[in-house]
Amino acid sequence: MPAIIDKIADALHLHKTAFDSKVTVIFVLGGPGAGKGTQCARLVQDFGFCHLSAGDLLRAEQHREGSEYGQLIQTCIKEGTIVPMEVTVKLLKNAMAAALAEHRSGEGWADGRGRFLIDGFPRKMDQAEMFEHDVAKATAVLFFSTTEEVLLQRLLERGKTSGREDDNAESIKKRFNTYKDQTMPVIEHYEKLGKVIEIDSSESIDEVHAKTKSAVAKLL
């Protein structure tokens, strides 16, 4: 949002999100194993994004000493269910504030601004609503799509070394169900708003990256 709109909103006492015009936010969605994290790492190199994975932030919070949410997060991750939105939105908001406080250099970070890839979020409609109301508006949604067979193969392969408690056949099945029931409606919502960029992520990392990079370049 241009600065002038912020000023008008201030004058009229209209609702503003925490970061408003300061940030560019791209949500990154796709089934578990679609390659979200891998592609985000590439986009960090290409465009200087701050990459925040909701799942990684939840795992860090789960293991943080003194966290009141540790047990809750562990159970949700194992069962492939969605952690209550307040927890995840708060972690993301804090991480964004911390990144902005670093006053990074580089394109997109001048004058207190920042650009963010929010990976694996929003997984459920309530998360989307809360984030866009309280934190910032999303510019676009990158949607990495592929078949369930490809996802399953990748997750089982990753499970050999990831050490993740949810990369096993039983948890994967539950995660697929949550994805279909809760996350697909989020993608459909943003599709209606014309904000979804769908990328077939069945191909190699390099091929998917080439398509993703050119799509994101057009957004910035």
Residues that bind ligand C5P (CB under 6 A): 32, 54-55, 58, 76-77, 80-83, 88, 120-121, 123, 127, 166, 175
Q: Which is nearer to ligand C5P, 19 or 144 (CB)?
A: 144
CA 47 to chain centre: 16
- Closest approach of ligand C5P to the CB of residue 32, in Å: 5
Of 37, 48, 70, 108, the one binding Mg ion (CB under 5 A) is: 37
Contact 76, 83 (CB under 8 A): yes
Contact 34, 201 (CB under 8 A): yes
- Closest approach of ligand C5P to the CB of residue 92, in Å: 9
Q: Which stretch binds Mg ion (CB under 5 A): 29-37, 60-68, 104-112, 192-200?
A: 29-37
- Closest approach of ligand C5P to the CB of residue 121, in Å: 4
Residue with token string 């911390």: 98
How many angstroms separate the CA atoms of 205 and 211, rounded? 10
Residue nearest to Mg ion (CB): 37
Identify the three-state secondary structure at position 24: strand
- Closest approach of ligand C5P to the CB of residue 7, in Å: 33
Characterise 70 by phi-psi region: left (phi > 0), alpha (psi -120 to 50), beta (else).
Answer: alpha
Binding residues for ATP: 33-38, 158, 203
Beta partners for 29?
Answer: 143
Q: Which residues contact Mg ion by CB under 5 A? A: 37
